[in-house]
């Protein structure tokens, strides 16, 4: 069954996903980050299942698009873009140059995997934090096979794990999807001189 998808977001954080299925139009609404309500009477469970699977892909695309539309500062070394008000994807080759280019700024590193449910739930929240804390740099590290050496070096045992750096030194760590603890760790790191 082929689906045509259109995702729209509101400022309140709710989303509407419109799909076309066998000539009929259906819509699904998502409020917050937990529930999806499918408004359809003909395609039933098949549509609900496909919406559940595709929702994360579309939502991640919106987050990536929002991350691209951001103010950026020139990297002193010219090697890595140091972004302000967004999240920068880093890997084995780009993490340490990113950290060096950050200078004395606080850096929050979100270590995640593509399959991790709590990681997906934290992503929109971390994006909002990156927009709120313009004096803090945010980066993401996908702990996949390609980045496994760096993830191991950084001591990742569970995802999501957030490491907070200042002057290229670890000054805080939060393991798990603990938003309030992450905010406290960022606030503490910002107070360090």
Give the Å distances, CA to CA, from 176 to 31, 88, 112.
Answer: 23, 20, 10
The residue from 21, 43, 119, 143 that is catalytic is: 119
DSSP string, 127-183: HHHHHH-TTEEEEEEE-SSTTHHHHHHTT--SSSEEEEEETTEEEEEEESS-HHHHH
Q: How many CB atoms lie within 10 A of CB 41?
A: 8
8 DSSP β-pair partners:
16
- Any catalytic annotation for residue 43? no
**Are 102 and 108 within 8 A, CB to CB?**
no
Rounded distance, CA 13 to CA 150, Å? 34
Catalytic residues: 116, 119
């Amino acid at each position: 069954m082929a689906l045509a998808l259109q995702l729209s977001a509101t400022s309140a954080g709710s989303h509407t996903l419109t799909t076309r299925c066998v000539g009929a139009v259906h819509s699904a609404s998502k409020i917050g980050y937990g529930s999806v309500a499918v408004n359809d009477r003909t395609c039933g469970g098949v549509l609900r299942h496909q919406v559940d699977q595709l929702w994360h892909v579309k939502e991640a695309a919106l987050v990536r698009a929002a991350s691209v539309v951001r103010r950026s500062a020139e990297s002193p070394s010219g090697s890595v873009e140091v972004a302000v008000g967004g999240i920068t994807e880093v890997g084995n080759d780009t993490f340490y140059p990113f950290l060096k280019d950050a200078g004395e700024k606080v850096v929050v590193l979100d270590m995640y995997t593509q399959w991790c449910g709590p990681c997906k739930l934290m992503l929109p929240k971390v994006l909002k934090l990156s927009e709120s804390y313009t004096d803090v740099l945010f980066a993401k590290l996908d702990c996949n096979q390609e980045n496994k050496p760096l993830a191991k070096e950084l001591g990742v045992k569970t995802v999501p794990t957030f490491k907070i750096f200042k002057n290229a030194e670890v000054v805080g760590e939060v393991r798990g999807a603990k938003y309030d603890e992450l905010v406290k760790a960022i606030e503490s790191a910002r107070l360090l001189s």
